[in-house]
Amino acid sequence: MGFKMGIVGLPNVGKSTLFNALTRTAAAQAANFPFCTIEPNVGEVAVPDARLDKLAGIAGSRQIIPTRMTFVDIAGLVRGASKGEGLGNQFLANIREVDAIAHVLRCFEDGDVTHVEGRVDPVADADTIETELMLADIESIEKRLQGLVRKVRGGDKEAVQQERLLKQALEMLEEGRPARLVQVDAEDAKAWKMLQLLTTKPVLYVCNVAEEDAANGNAHSARVAQMAADQGNAHVIISARIEEEISQLEPEEAEMFLAEMGLEEAGLDRLIRAGYELLHLETYFTVGPKEARAWTIRTGTSAPKAAGVIHGDFERGFIRAETIAYDDFVACGGEQGAKEAGKMRAEGKGYVVKDGDVLHFLFNT
């Protein structure tokens, strides 16, 4: 299981440049005018994880298969999108289909790159998009509440629940705050998710800075960092230009380039790690002579559910999971060494998989 992250932002903030770098393609046209990305571009990238290479080396795996993450480059939004301005309707529809939003904010000065509103103010840009999403949610909720009236009068339990949740969201939105701030009880969680409100999507702010600011950021990114902290959201600092250059280099050259720029790792790695944390995701591994493979699950996933990520039959016929912690697998020199050291455990249906677990599932067919 991977996840889908939508790259959004005002026109000319570096969305398509970042997308090109992330997917190592030129599928998204980067040009100095609004709406150059007319259809959402979708690209899958391998999630870098040094642990997978280490496991494969120990096990002598012939193939290494990383887990994957999907990025969607969504057309630039402008003020009035909730009313259909620019490519607003399409933008809003595309956002409904992603799990999280990577909100790219322009944190660089460049007179050659036109800002759609004629200024560089990332906090104001963030507010513009958040406002448009909130307005779109308000309009959607009001229409849905009208459609529920008859069912609610008839005592339909699902309709009554939907109405209550929609009214909670509407109250929050009318206060000028996104619906993600609504406190939802566990029994309402599934119904709440089914509402698919735009402002319930988790947000990661991506500060796109100039190359010279990639290591430490600048005054613009500092303002975004404060805004994110106040909202309880995350942020990362990335130079889309640097990421685009790195994407064209061989791994050894990329490492040298990063070192010259004073960077310990590529922005892609930071972005994916922040995305994982945002969506409460983690990784487990299956390792053998044929292949070493990474699998993505949500934090708190039970062993049978984790097995189901590989194949539904694994979940349905689950017997147990032979489990070795990553550190133990490495320290013991592989599966056999872990067995001899008593580090392999047999876990049942109630086991909650931990990040880095090396698993082998036994199941009935």
Asked if 67 contacts 295 with a C-beta cutoff of 8 angstroms, the reply is yes
Contacts of 252 (CB under 8 A, 6+ apart): none
32 marked among binding-site residues: no
Closest-CA residue to 117 (of 7, 10, 257): 10
17 marked among binding-site residues: yes
301 marked among binding-site residues: no
Task: Give the CA count within 13 Å in the CB-facing half-sphere of 55.
Answer: 30
Kindly list the strands in the beta sheet with 41-46, ordered across the sheet, starting from the edge strand earlier in the chain: 41-46, 68-73, 4-8, 100-106, 203-208, 234-238
Q: Tokens 């640097």 map to which residue?
A: 242
Closest-CA residue to 365 (of 318, 300, 297): 318
15 marked among binding-site residues: yes
- The tokens for 33 are 């005018």
Residue 232: alpha-carbon gap to chain centroid: 16
- The tokens for 295 are 């699998």
Asked if 323 contacts 345 with a C-beta cutoff of 8 angstroms, the reply is yes
Asked if 345 contacts 298 with a C-beta cutoff of 8 angstroms, the reply is no
216 marked among binding-site residues: no
What are residue 352's phi and psi, to 5 degrees?
-100, 120
Residue 177: alpha-carbon gap to chain centroid: 22
12 marked among binding-site residues: yes
| β-pairing verdict for 41-46 and 68-73 | antiparallel
The annotated binding site for ATP is made up of 12-17
Residues annotated in a binding site: 12-17
